[in-house]
């Protein structure tokens, strides 16, 4: 049994050992037979938005803090004190405040969170160039071949990295260490906050067997319901089915179901993994049923998505409408575009019939639009002899972008944005 003290970074080959580190007396020990042989990690900052705010406002350190958009919005993040009251992300704000009336509610400051996230990312990149970001505050790391560089095993290097994040950035992070991305991500959730959990090769199949099938990355609500209808609720149930049968029943993801259920994941950490979608959404102050008002609300979101596509050098081959009813039922409607686009006007015209179809008298509290099936921006909006208006739209939008770049976003816009 190998051990590591996260206080002084002392390592040892103990077979049991005392509850505290023999070198420093600390109790933050990690023990695992494969501890110093594993190289794939998932690092996830703890309650990131809330902890950034607590860092900047020490008087809130021991108080419940919720990050969100007011009573009509939803919880974007909740600190661990607030989570004791059952508060979690995506929870309606009115329910969160009912559960914890004394919570401090703060509006998200995304510019600040992005800046802090970049600081965390820079520390990761100092540790290894093989960093695959998943969000503003989490990433996979491959530490293969770094032992000589850092003078210690990947486990020791990760413990030092977590300390640097805490000391230099002022937020805490949890680490999952394994031999694959799938299991490293699961491990990082096992010991939060300030955790360090390990899943090795020898234990992987036994560890997974009684877990719910939803633990598999890529199993969303719809697929989970389909699996449960077929009597597949746990990994044990899943293992009763052959790979070919799962693929025949569930398509390409059947291969992932079969392999992940057995702890097999051959995916590499990809430092430049492309974004899969770009989206924007807004929650209304009052529920909206009128299609004209919904269309007015979706236009600035189309502009925001188009701007992000252009900044990223990407284009979307698909568009998705997201709506949430007043009773929090979420609807998504998608369509494939004839050609990839990064024009706000093209996104708007594509999503417009989807909105008109869904606006059947129901009241909605949220609307969003996203571009999916992303491709290189050079493929965007090719000339179309059948639709010469496209070229004109592209020129108009390019001119608007140029004016805004010089004078600001409020300098010019289309009439429907007024």
Is residue 389's pLDDT more than 70? Answer: no
How far apart are the C-alpha atoms of 76 and 56, rounded to whole Å?
18
| Token couple for 295 | 């269309």
Q: pLDDT tens across 164-213, in order? A: 999 999 999 999 999 999 999 999 999 999 999 999 999 999 999 999 99
For 171, phi then psi, to 5°, come to -125, 160
pLDDT for res 101: 95
Count of C-beta atoms within a 10 Å radius of residue 416: 13
Q: Boundaries of CATH 1.10.150.20 in the chain?
A: 209-260
Is residue 373's pLDDT more than 80? Answer: yes
pLDDT for res 305: 94
pLDDT for res 353: 95
Q: What share of the chain has pLDDT > 70, as a percent?
A: 89
CA dist 367 → 246, 293, 294, 311 (Å): 35, 11, 8, 23
pLDDT for res 253: 86
pLDDT for res 378: 77
| Token couple for 321 | 């409408």
pLDDT for res 416: 60
Q: Confirm or reject CATH 1.10.3720.10 for domain 209-260, answering yes or no.
A: no
Is residue 392's pLDDT more than 80? Answer: no
311-339: burial string, b at 16+ Cβ within 10 Å, e else: eeebbbbbbbbbbbeeeeeeeeeeeebeb
At residue 278, the 3 state secondary structure works out as strand
| 63 touches 43 (CB < 8 A) | no
Radius of gyration of the chain from its Cα atoms, rounded to whole angstroms: 24
Q: pLDDT tens across 218-251, in order? A: 787 778 889 999 999 999 999 999 999 999 988 8
Can you point out the beta strands (E) in 40-164?
A: 40-45, 65-68, 75-78, 104-106, 131-135, 138-142
**pLDDT band at residue 89, thresholds of 50, 70 and 90?**
confident
**pLDDT band at residue 417, thresholds of 50, 70 and 90?**
low
Q: Boundaries of CATH 3.30.70.270 in the chain?
A: 34-202
What is the rounded average pLDDT of the residues 39-48? 97
What is the rounded average pLDDT of the residues 323-336? 89
Is residue 72's pLDDT more than 80? Answer: no
Q: pLDDT tens across 106-154, in order? A: 999 988 999 999 999 999 999 999 999 988 899 999 999 999 989 999 9
How far apart are the C-alpha atoms of 223 and 22, rounded to whole Å?
49
Is residue 90's pLDDT more than 60? Answer: yes
Q: Is the dihedral of CA 257, 263, 265, 270 positive or negative?
A: positive
Q: pLDDT tens across 265-302, in order? A: 999 998 976 667 899 999 888 999 999 999 999 999 99
Pick the more confident residue, 29 or 403. 29
Is residue 383's pLDDT more than 70? Answer: no
How far apart are the C-alpha atoms of 80 and 223, rounded to whole Å?
30
What is the rounded average pLDDT of the residues 384-393? 61
CATH superfamily of 277-417: DNA polymerase, Y-family, little finger domain (3.30.1490.100)
Is residue 19's pLDDT more than 80? Answer: no
Is residue 57's pLDDT more than 70? Answer: yes
What is the rounded average pLDDT of the residues 305-321? 90
What is the rounded average pLDDT of the residues 72-87? 90
In 261-371, alpha helices (H): 291-312, 344-358
Q: Boundaries of CATH 3.30.1490.100 in the chain?
A: 277-417
Q: Is the dihedral of CA 308, 310, 315, 321 positive or negative?
A: positive
**pLDDT band at residue 67, thresholds of 50, 70 and 90?**
very high
**pLDDT band at residue 412, thresholds of 50, 70 and 90?**
low
pLDDT for res 143: 97
Is residue 63's pLDDT more than 70? Answer: yes
| 72 touches 51 (CB < 8 A) | no
Adjacent-strand bridge partners of 212: 234
* Start-to-end Cα distance in the chain: 66
Among 57-61, 124-128, 414-418, where is mean pLDDT lowest?
A: 414-418
Is residue 322's pLDDT more than 70? Answer: yes
Q: Which residues fall within 8 angstroms of residue 271, CB to CB, at 6 or more apart?
A: 129, 130, 131, 132
At residue 18, the 3 state secondary structure works out as coil
| Residue 138 is among the residues annotated as catalytic for this protein | yes
In terms of residues, how long is the chain? Answer: 418
How far apart are the C-alpha atoms of 168 and 55, rounded to whole Å?
12
pTM of the model: 0.72
CATH code of the domain made up of 34-202 = 3.30.70.270
Pick the more confident residue, 399 or 356. 356
Active-site option among 39, 53, 132, 138: 138
In 189-289, alpha helices (H): 204-208, 221-229, 235-238, 243-250, 253-260
Adjacent-strand bridge partners of 331: 323
Helix (H) or strand (E) holding 368: strand 364-376
Is residue 357's pLDDT more than 80? Answer: yes
User: Where do we find the tokens 């770094």?
Assistant: 146
Q: What is the mean pLDDT of the chain?
A: 89
What is the rounded average pLDDT of the residues 23-31? 89
DSSP 22: T
Is residue 33's pLDDT more than 70? Answer: yes
């Amino acid at each position: 049994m190998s051990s590591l003290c996260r206080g002084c970074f002392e390592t040892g080959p103990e077979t049991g050992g005392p509850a505290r580190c023999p070198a420093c007396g600390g109790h933050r020990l990690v023990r695992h037979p494969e501890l110093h042989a594993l190289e794939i990690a998932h690092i996830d900052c703890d309650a990131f938005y809330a902890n950034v705010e607590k860092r900047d406002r020490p008087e809130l350190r021991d108080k419940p803090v919720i990050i969100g958009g007011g009573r009509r919005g939803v919880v974007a993040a909740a600190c661990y004190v607030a989570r004791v009251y059952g508060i979690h992300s995506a929870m309606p704000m009115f329910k969160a405040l009912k559960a914890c009336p004394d919570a401090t509610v703060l509006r998200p400051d995304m510019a600040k969170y992005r800046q802090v996230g970049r600081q965390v990312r820079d520390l990761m990149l100092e540790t290894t160039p093989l960093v695959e970001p998943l969000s503003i505050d989490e990433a996979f790391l491959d530490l293969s071949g770094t032992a000589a560089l850092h003078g210690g095993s990947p486990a020791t290097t990760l413990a030092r990295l977590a300390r640097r994040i805490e000391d230099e950035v002022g937020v805490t992070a949890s680490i999952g260490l394994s031999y694959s991305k799938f299991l490293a991500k699961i491990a990082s959730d096992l010991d939060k906050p300030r955790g360090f959990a390990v899943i090795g090769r020898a234990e992987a199949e036994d560890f997974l067997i009684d877990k719910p099938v939803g633990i598999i990355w890529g199993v969303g609500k719809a697929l989970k319901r389909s699996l449960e209808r077929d009597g597949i609720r746990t990994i044990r149930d899943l293992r009763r089915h052959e790979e070919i049968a799962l693929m025949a029943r569930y398509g390409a993801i059947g291969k992932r179901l079969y392999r992940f259920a057995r702890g097999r994941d051959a995916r590499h950490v990809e430092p430049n993994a492309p974004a899969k979608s770009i989206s924007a959404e807004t929650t209304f102050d009052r529920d909206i049923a009128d299609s004209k008002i919904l269309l007015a609300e979706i236009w600035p979101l189309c502009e925001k998505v188009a701007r992000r596509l252009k900044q990223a050098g990407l284009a979307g081959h698909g568009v998705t409408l997201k709506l949430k009813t007043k009773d929090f039922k979420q609807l998504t409607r998608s369509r494939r575009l004839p050609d990839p686009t990064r024009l706000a006007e093209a996104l708007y015209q594509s999503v417009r019939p989807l909105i008109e179809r869904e606006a059947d008298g129901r009241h909605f509290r949220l609307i969003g639009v996203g571009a999916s099936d992303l491709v290189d921006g050079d493929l965007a909006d090719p000339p179309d002899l059948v639709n010469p208006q496209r070229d004109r739209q592209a020129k108009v939008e390019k001119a608007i972008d140029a004016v805004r770049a010089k004078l600001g976003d409020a300098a010019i816009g289309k009439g429907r944005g007024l």
